[in-house]
Structure formats: C-alpha cells, structure tokens
Amino acid sequence: MARRARRREGRGHLSSIDRLPDEAESAIVWANEQLRARKLPSAVILAEFNERLADLGLPPVSKSAWGRYAVRKALQFRRLDEIQRMGGELARSMEARAPDEVTVAVAEMLKVAVFEVLEEGEVSTSGIMQLARALQAAVSAQKTSAEYRERLEQEVQARLAEAAAKVGNLEKKGVSPEAIAAINKALLGGG
C-alpha cells in the first residue's frame, strides 16, 4: 500500500515506443493490431515491427522495451475486451426492459466504478472532479428518467379517464351493457 502512495501521478516514463516520431504511427498501429489479434508470437511481431521501423529509417526497438510494451498492451486489451463483453451482456439483458431500468442500471454500475477507483486511492484532484461530474450526471439521468416515467403514467391515467368518460357517454346513448363491457375489457388490456 505504501508503494501505491509513492507512485507518481501522470503517465510516468515514456517508453522507446512511446517516443517514436509520428511517421512511425502506421507501424505502431500494425503492431497493436497484431498484439490484439493474438495470432502471432510476440517475437515475430517485434521482428516485423523493427523491419517496418527500419524502412522508415528509424532504429529498432529492444526486446526488453518491446516486452514491457506488449505486456502493457495485453493488459489494456484484456480489460477492454472484458468491458466490451460486459457491455454486450448488459445490453442483451436490458433489451426487454424499459429505458428507465437501463438508466438506473447504468447509473448504478457507474457508482460502483467510481467507488472502486476511489478505493484504490490513486486519483488526482482533477480525476476526483471528473468522477464527481460523472456521478452527478448519472444521478441526474436517474432523476430525469423517473420524472419521464411519472409523466407517462399521468398521460396514461388521463387517457384512461377520457376513455371511461366516453364509455359512460355511450351508455347514455343506448349502447348495450355487453358492448360497454367488451370496450372496457379492451381498454384495460384484458381482450
């Protein structure tokens, strides 16, 4: 825990790959795609990456620098894949639910994520402010969603009252009780 407290804020030391010039961007993108695909061994990707850098007149990347970079990217890709998988599962589970329930679920997930980040204790002042804004937006979305649901319920009640009044008028005009019962059943979802 003390080690975490001593950790510097910010991005830390830039690797030799991070310090490559802009013209190496296409080679870096290619290498990242290969790492993400996980079809080729890391040594093969490094050899091809260094060939691409040589074609651009740039020095090769060392095995150790590449190893650290590949591990860091693998962790990022796994986390991204996990988030995408969880998001997909959440979306599938929410398909049949009302938008209000989706809003509440997403807001609750955001609250948990904020708690986890704060629990690790590695958040800068600006990071805390961003988390606070995100949490405020989630709570606001929950409130707006609840207000929307309440407004819809009021509209439905008003329409039902209007329909009931019309049915009452039909009775006065001589419509049979059986016909009125059928209309009521249809209005209330029973038919």
Answer whether residue 48 is part of any domain. Answer: yes
Of 2-16, 57-71, 83-97, least confident by mean pLDDT is 2-16
What is the Cβ-side half-sphere exposure of residue 76, based on CA atoms within 13 angstroms?
A: 10
Dihedral sign computed on CA atoms, order 55, 59, 62, 66: negative
**96, 117, 143 - which closes a domain:** 96
Alpha helix (H) ranges present in 38-176? 42-55, 63-94, 99-120, 125-172
90 with 160, same domain? no
Residue 73 has pLDDT above 60, yes or no: yes
Answer whether residue 129 is part of any domain. Answer: no
74 compared with 93, residue with greater pLDDT:
74
Answer whether residue 166 is part of any domain. Answer: yes
Mean pLDDT, all residues of the chain: 75
Count how many domains the chain has: 2
Token pair for 44: 């093969």
- 99-119 pLDDT, tens digit per residue, is 566 666 766 676 676 666 666
Exposure class string for 53-81: b at 16+ Cβ within 10 A, else e: beeeeeeebeeebbeebbeeeeeeeeeee
Answer whether residue 123 is part of any domain. Answer: no
- Residue 47: domain span: 13-96
**55, 77, 96 - which closes a domain:** 96
Answer whether residue 179 is part of any domain. Answer: yes
**56, 74, 96 - which closes a domain:** 96
Residue 167: name the closest of 140, 190, 188, 142 by CA: 188
Residue 65 has pLDDT above 50, yes or no: yes
92 with 160, same domain? no
Answer whether residue 87 is part of any domain. Answer: yes
Of 17-31, 33-47, 136-150, least confident by mean pLDDT is 136-150
Answer whether residue 36 is part of any domain. Answer: yes
pLDDT score recorded for residue 2:
42
pLDDT score recorded for residue 5:
43
158 with 90, same domain? no
Answer whether residue 143 is part of any domain. Answer: no
Residue 58 has pLDDT above 80, yes or no: yes
Dihedral sign computed on CA atoms, order 102, 104, 106, 112: negative
State which amino acid sits at residue 79: R
CA distance 51 to 153: 65
Burial class from Cβ neighbours inside 10 Å (0-12, 13-18, 19+) for residue 99 reads: exposed
Q: Which of 38-47, 103-112, 147-156, 161-170 has the highest mean pLDDT?
A: 38-47
149 compared with 30, residue with greater pLDDT:
30
- CA 110 remoteness from chain centre: 9
Burial class from Cβ neighbours inside 10 Å (0-12, 13-18, 19+) for residue 134 reads: middle
